[in-house]
């Protein structure tokens, strides 16, 4: 079976991109992971999740912008989204997730930081906040530097740490101070062994170490994983380090679980029903291709099913095309 690296490498080929984006089966697959093409669709999904007791982080898809006009347009689109969230009364439960590269970091980091300030100011006016996604390792210093800078004026701005990067324990120590919100994920990008753990067990072990640092720290760990073993570990660490907030409504500090839209929805509801704060990361927008390919690559069985569907073979009643509830510990690709 193909591994994550080769899948992500193949995804960069224009031929593969053409094949995937024009295949009739793709629309159904995209709908599972992406809320829709515009902010009206995103708001409708966010409102539905809020009705289920879940909070939301909305991500306007688009990344690695190499054009100033597009970076400006992405900034204005986020500001407009935040205005609409405020008007819809959703900012109590919805924040924004932003990729600095969508705001132009690859062209001009200073311009991207100014754009980020505009987005953070719009979030504050609307009564919510922003988390800056982690992208590939070449961007980590610029993104974490921008978050540090922004937090002086917007203290609730969140950072993201990718456990697969070898540097991340140190980043967690730097970020574990009072008031800091840190999303800990495994990392979705194919990285060289020089900077990242490439073995799944080593990534999970790094995640566990990083989580220990964040839970023992003074900030709010945002536990972004679907991995049952790591969710269990987070619950145990929360019992030990945060007894006042474990299993109860989140207090100042506290912690929250974060899962992706379309992945393990029953687990999202189970955690919320047990009283834990749960946030669902909801992407929307037309530029879904790289996001979808990262989701496919995370679970190579998905690719097999996708290829079969592309070849017009009979739909299989499990795996990628099964209802999302079928994704449970022990299913193909399950566990750490
Ligand atoms: C809220 C949130 C925000 C994130 N933000 C970032 C970010 O800013 N930067 C970044 O690099 N990465 C980000 N990620 C992605 C993350 O780095 C991982 O690539 C992704 O979460 C898969 O890792 P896992 O911890 O769920 O563990 P895995 O071991 O990959 O998955 C555990 C189990 O969850 C299920 N599962 C996981 N992913 C899928 C999928 N795509 N399709 C079907 N089943 C699946 C399977 O049952 C699997 O066995 C984010 C993830 C989440 C949940």
The pLDDT of residue 2 is: 67
The pLDDT of residue 322 is: 40
CA distances from 38 to 70, 284, 334 (A): 16, 6, 32
The pLDDT of residue 11 is: 87
The pLDDT of residue 27 is: 85
Domains and CATH numbers, the chain: 1-34+288-322 (no CATH), 35-287 (3.20.20.220)
Q: Which of 59, 133, 171, 227 is catalytic?
A: 133
Please name which of 59, 83, 31, 36 lies closest in space to residue 280, comparing C-alpha atoms. 59
Active site residue 4: no
| Residue ranges around ligand 1 (CB below 6 Å) | 133-134, 160, 162, 183, 185-189, 224-227, 258-260, 263-264, 281, 295, 298-299, 302, 327, 331, 333-336
The pLDDT of residue 222 is: 97
Q: Which of 4, 151, 181, 183 is catalytic?
A: 183
295 three-state secondary structure? helix
CA distances from 142 to 71, 74, 118, 135, 161 (A): 16, 19, 18, 10, 13
Distance 186 CA to ligand 1 centre (A): 7
The pLDDT of residue 180 is: 93
Indicate the helix (H) or strand (E) that contains 200: helix 200-216
Active site residue 173: no
Question: How far is it, in rounded angstroms, from Cα 108 to Cα 233?
Answer: 40
Rounded mean pLDDT for each run of 10 residues along the chain, 336 residues in total: 79 86 84 92 96 96 93 98 93 95 97 98 96 98 98 97 98 94 96 96 98 95 98 95 58 81 96 95 93 87 77 48 36 27
Answer yes or no: are the C-beta atoms of 200 and 336 closer than 8 Å: yes
């Amino acid at each position: 079976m193909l591994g994550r690296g080769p899948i992500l490498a193949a995804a960069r080929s224009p031929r593969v991109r053409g094949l995937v984006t024009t295949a009739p089966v793709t629309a159904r697959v995209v709908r599972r992971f992406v809320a829709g093409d515009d902010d009206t669709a995103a708001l409708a999904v966010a409102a539905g999740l809020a009705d289920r007791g879940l909070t939301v982080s909305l991500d306007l898809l688009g990344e690695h912008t190499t054009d100033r006009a597009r970076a400006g347009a992405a900034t204005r689109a986020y500001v407009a989204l935040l205005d609409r969230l405020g008007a819809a009364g959703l900012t109590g439960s919805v924040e924004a997730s932003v990729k600095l590269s969508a705001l132009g970091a690859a062209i001009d980091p200073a311009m991207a930081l100014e754009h980020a300030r505009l987005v953070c100011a719009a979030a504050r006016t609307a009564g919510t906040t922003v988390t800056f996604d982690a992208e590939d390792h070449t961007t980590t210093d610029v993104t974490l530097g921008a978050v540090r800078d922004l937090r002086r004026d917007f203290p609730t701005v969140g950072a993201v740490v990718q456990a697969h990067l070898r540097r991340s324990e140190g980043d967690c120590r730097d970020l574990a101070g009072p008031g800091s919100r840190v999303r800990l994920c495994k990392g979705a990008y194919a990285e060289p062994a020089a900077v990242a753990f490439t073995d799944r067990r080593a990534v999970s072990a790094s995640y566990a170490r990083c989580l220990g640092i964040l839970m023992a720290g003074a900030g709010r760990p945002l536990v972004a994983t679907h991995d049952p073993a790591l969710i269990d570990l987070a619950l145990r660490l929360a019992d030990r380090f945060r007894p006042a907030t474990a299993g109860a409504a989140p207090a100042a500090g506290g912690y929250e679980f974060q899962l992706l839209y379309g992945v393990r929805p029953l687990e999202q509801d189970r955690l919320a029903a047990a009283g834990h704060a749960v946030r669902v990361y909801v992407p929307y927008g037309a530029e879904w291709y790289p996001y979808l390919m990262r989701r496919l690559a995370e679970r190579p069985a998905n690719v097999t099913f996708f290829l079969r569907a592309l070849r017009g073979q009979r739909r299989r009643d499990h795996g990628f095309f099964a209802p999302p509830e079928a994704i449970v510990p022990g299913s193909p690709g399950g566990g750490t």
